[in-house]
Amino acid sequence: MATDIRDTAHAVEAAAVMGLLPARPRLLALGEPTHGEDALLDLRNGLFRQLVEQEGYRTIAIEIDCLAALAVDDYVTSGTGTLDEVVEHGFSHGWGASAANRDLVRWMRAHNVRVDNDGRPASERLRFAGLDGPLEITGAASPRQALTALHGYLAARLDADLLPCTAETLDRLLGADDRWTDPAAMTDPARSVGRSAEAGELRLLADDLVALLDERTPQLLEETSREEWDRARLYGRTAIGLLRYHHRMADASPARMSRLCAVRDAMMAHNLLALAERGPALVHAHNSHLQRARSSMRMWQGPVEWWSAGAIVSARLGGEYAFVAAALGTIRHRGVDTPPPDTLEGLLYALPEERCVVDARRLAAALGDTRPAPRVSPWFGYAPLDPARLADSDGIVFVGDVPQD
């Protein structure tokens, strides 16, 4: 058994990951079982560099606010702003403090600038994207930024009588932003404005604006760049997603949290499908967002389940979506010690390599009908892999010991 498992393990390199797949996917999803550990992000960075240099990948998308991330993309593609500014403001969830994220942005900018400082052709530039909506675990942003940006794009290029409303109407219906961002609304549906009369009208207007964007696509692509049009599409799907999310926040039914999780992952999926139109991209987020199976977690009101972004995208793209899960042995500074030997992580921890990529399906075949015991984490922030879903991923990246940063 141990020999069979060793035969499935290889160094974490782009060639080894690609060797698990029948062809280069448009979206290569690399999961992580926990957030905030630079050791995992350093591994991600190294793999992305190899994918760029060896496989022609040009985009990386990570689990941050898709609108905030536009500032990072502007910096890496054209040098807009400074490294300090975009790392501070372009990363949500406080992840701009990560040295690994800073290193990623610095390297991408350097790659996009030739030695003669002319800059690479647009088709060769690396791109950066956020795949998440403007959401936090404690609440969601106002739809103001997305709605007003979409309206502004259309108003600058189309006759006023084509638009469903004026900017002043949007401003009046949106009201004060703190109405939308009240943290208490996450646990108290009555505090949410998501089912107010104004929110209902905004949902109709957002739908009309996105429909207008679609209807006028030929004209808009003649008069503006595809980049501007793509951003308008991002604003549109974000506005609709945020308004839908706020509507669900006002739901007092037992299905409320499952529906919120589902809306969030659907927003991620739409962003990923749009990125897939650009060409091959590396996607990095929590395993639960990228796996092909239904996701689940336990929250304050009980267990919740939803279809992940990866499940949605995989259903749409088929073999052009690949998912490599990540697992680890220890995070001792978080109380996660050596995994029991009868667990999946325990079997991988016994391998001689500190870091390796494993063929998940070959490993499942080597294990046969006997599956390892599920690992139980003493820390809520780390989610062990489900051994029953081993064959649902194309591979596993394993890190033995995660040091304290």
Residues 210 and 233: their CA atoms lie apart, in Å, by 8
- Angle 272-282-317 (CA atoms, 0-180°, nearest 5)? 45
Mean per-residue pLDDT for 76-91?
A: 96
Question: Residue 250's Cα: distance from chain center in Å?
Answer: 25
Residues 165 and 169: their CA atoms lie apart, in Å, by 6
Residue 115 reports pLDDT greater than 60: no
Mean pLDDT of the chain: 94
pLDDT of 200-241, one tens digit each?
999 999 999 999 999 999 999 999 999 999 999 999 999 999
3-class state of residue 110 by DSSP: helix
User: In the prediction, which pLDDT does 3 show?
Assistant: 43
User: In the prediction, which pLDDT does 119 show?
Assistant: 72
Residues 206 and 198: their CA atoms lie apart, in Å, by 12
User: In the prediction, which pLDDT does 2 show?
Assistant: 45
pLDDT of 282-327, one tens digit each?
999 999 999 999 988 777 677 889 999 999 999 999 999 999 999 9
395-401 and 355-358 beta bridge pairing: antiparallel
User: In the prediction, which pLDDT does 1 show?
Assistant: 44
CB atoms within 10 A of CB 381: 14
Residue 371 reports pLDDT greater than 90: no
Facing residues of 360 across strands? Answer: none
- pLDDT band (50, 70, 90) for residue 4: low
User: In the prediction, which pLDDT does 123 show?
Assistant: 83
Residue 151 reports pLDDT greater than 60: yes
- pLDDT band (50, 70, 90) for residue 116: low
Q: In 247-270, which positions are buried (b, 16+ CB within 10 angstroms) versus exposed (e)? A: bbbbbeeeebbbbbbbbbbbbbbb
Q: In 120-153, which positions are buried (b, 16+ CB within 10 angstroms) versus exposed (e)? A: eeeeebbbbbbbbbbbbeebbbbbbbbbbbbbeb
Residues 57 and 281: their CA atoms lie apart, in Å, by 6
User: In the prediction, which pLDDT does 7 show?
Assistant: 78
- pLDDT band (50, 70, 90) for residue 121: confident
